[in-house]
Amino acid sequence: MKYISLQVSIRDVAFGENVTIIEPVNIYGCRIGKNSFVGPFTEIQKEVVIGERCKIQSHTFICELVTIGNNCFIGHGVMFVNDLFSTGGPAMGNKELWKSTTIGNNVSIGSNATILPVEICDNVVVGAGAVVTKNITKSGIYAGNPARFLRAI
pLDDT at 137: 98
pLDDT for res 47:
96
pLDDT of residue 145: 98
Domain map (residue ranges) of the chain: 10-151
* Averages of pLDDT over each 10 residues, the chain, 153 residues: 78 98 97 98 97 98 98 98 91 89 98 98 98 98 98 95
Contact (CB, 8 A) for 91 and 75: no
What whole-number distance in Å separates Cα of residue 70 and Cα of residue 8? 27
Integer Cα distance of 20 and 33 in angstroms: 11
Nearest-angstrom CA–CA distance, 132 and 130:
6
Residue 119 host element (H or E): strand 119-120
Q: What is the dihedral of CA 65, 70, 71, 72, to 10 degrees?
A: -10
* Spatial distance between the Cα atoms of 142 and 99, rounded to a whole number of angstroms: 22
CATH homologous superfamily of 10-151: Hexapeptide repeat proteins (2.160.10.10)
Looking at residue 4, its pLDDT comes to 76
Cα dist. 14→57, 78, 83, 149 in Å? 19, 22, 25, 35
pTM exceeds 0.75, yes or no: yes
